[in-house]
Amino acid sequence: MSLQSCQLIDLPKISDPRGNLTFIEGGHHVPFPIKRVFYLYDVPGGADRGGHALRRCHQFLIAISGSFDVVVEAGSESRRFHLNRSYYGLHLPPMIWREMDNFSSGAVCLVLASECYSEDDYFRDHDQFLSAVEAGK
């Protein structure tokens, strides 16, 4: 999997003087059916999240409130994304190592996932992830 597959995707935004509205349909606005939703919140200043890659699961990350950075890596290359709006998100396909940092005060990270939670799907050891990437070439 190359880093070009990690893409920012704009979401529909219905602007309204009463407040804006954004909606997401699985398989339409995000390129996978949504099986699970989770969110990170109350992240203390200076904390890091992530630090893993997934074998099969696609994820779509949105800064629903505040901002944070996502550093993605697929073997030798890496790239940092800054997420700070609730009307776009970052699609991470499988086999992408991700680290999240630089959380603002009050940041909320919403994650849409293509699979239910399974610890078996995780690489939590970076060297094991790199070995699997090499083996898959």
Query: Which residues of this protein are in contact with ligand TYD, per CB under 6 A?
Result: 36, 38, 40, 49-50, 52, 117
Cα dist. 23→66, 82, 128 in Å? 18, 21, 37
C-beta of 86: minimal distance to ligand TYD in Å? 19
C-beta of 50: minimal distance to ligand TYD in Å? 5
Cβ nearer to ligand TYD, comparing 36 with 80: 36
Cβ nearer to ligand TYD, comparing 29 with 52: 52
- Give buried/exposed letters for 50-86 (b at 16+ CB in 10 A, else e): bebbbeebbbbbbbbebbbbbbbbbbeeeeebebeeb
Cβ nearer to ligand TYD, comparing 21 with 37: 37
